[in-house]
Amino acid sequence: MAKLYFKFGAMKCGKTTDIIKTYYNYKEKDLNVLIMKPGDDTKAGSKIQSRSGAELDTDYVVGADVNVYNLIGYHIINHNLDCIIVDEAQFLSRVQIDDLKKINHDFNIPVGCYGLKSDFLTHHFAGSGRLLVVADELKKMPTVCNCKDRTGASFNARKYIGGGYIAEGPQVAVDDGKQIEYVSLCDKCYLEHVLNVPVNEPVKVLKYLVSKNIIR
């Protein structure tokens, strides 16, 4: 039985590179792959693009109101399809994630979703929150923090280019290379640099986490 996969990781962990590699692995075997991304991902237009400059054309760029089940179901009727890959899946709605799950189940086609687990304030996106519940397999893709801590980076931090970190604002703000950028941080660096919580004072850390309902 085909599965719904969710591969997640902090910024710059190589998600798009893995998508491109997976795509060409399928194509070398003469298998057909559908590439899709949400409309909120405005970088690279209708393409997906890795930091190395490698890119792929997408088959569909979907808005928040698109019925993904009908869209892909119609595609399947008219084309042979062996795999579905979704980049930046965190931007999809909960309903659209459920549509992908139904496609996976009804047509027995593997679906690979790639994206962030949480935003720059450590809150789940709608899409990733739903994927953590309904995906058959979860895989965290590792990356390193700027401090080079071997435990790796799990948090996404938003900052001004050439400036400080940002601890408030809208959930979605695509880095345009002009004003803001994103960096991957370990938990210690996120607490220190973004939340300004001294990690060498555990009582203050605990009080902060409780105040933000991160722990109860």
Q: Looking at the annotation, which residues are catalytic?
A: 88
Cα–Cα distance measured from residue 134 to residue 130, given in angstroms and rounded to the nearest whole number: 6
Cα–Cα distance measured from residue 40 to residue 85, given in angstroms and rounded to the nearest whole number: 17
DSSP states of 80-114 as a string? ---EEEESSGGGS-HHHHHHHHHHHHHHT--EEEE
By the 10 Å C-beta count (0-12 exposed, 13-18 middle, 19+ buried), 87 is classed as buried
Gyration radius from the chain CA atoms = 18
Cα–Cα distance measured from residue 206 to residue 112, given in angstroms and rounded to the nearest whole number: 37
Cα–Cα distance measured from residue 74 to residue 61, given in angstroms and rounded to the nearest whole number: 15
